[in-house]
Amino acid sequence: MAASGIRGPKQIWNAFKWSMKGLRAGWVHEASFRLEACLAVVLVPAGLWLGNGALEKLALVTPAILVLSAELLNSAVEAVVDKVSPEFHELAGRAKDMGSAAVFLLLVLTGLAWVLVLGPRFW
């Protein structure tokens, strides 16, 4: 069997290393990712502490993780667009704007989840 077809612990380890490399690149090169990561460092433990039961905890934590994921994907789209088309093009701008909109919608979801889950306790 060819080396590229090998499956198992080595492939899992390589995938983990590439993921860590991607997280590091997001942290080093993307101010928005750093800001959202700092927010997640606060929201994830707070959500785990404040949520009553597994579903509430999940509802508070998941959107924060999704924001980070979407920000990384948005940054990847922006990097590819800039590589392929360094000059301005309407489609390139649209792709970047749509990636940004996806992150924004997840930020709205995060706020909505926190208001819906924790709001009734304070009303």
* 71 in active site: yes
Q: What is the C-alpha to C-alpha distance for residues 66 and 79, in angstroms, rounded to an integer?
A: 20
Q: Which two tokens stand for residue 112?
A: 């909505």
Q: Which of 30, 36, 71, 87 is catalytic?
A: 71
Q: Which two tokens stand for residue 77?
A: 């789209």
Q: What is the C-alpha to C-alpha distance for residues 102 and 105, in angstroms, rounded to an integer?
A: 5
User: H helices of 1-123, where?
Assistant: 9-29, 31-50, 53-84, 90-122
Active site residues: 71
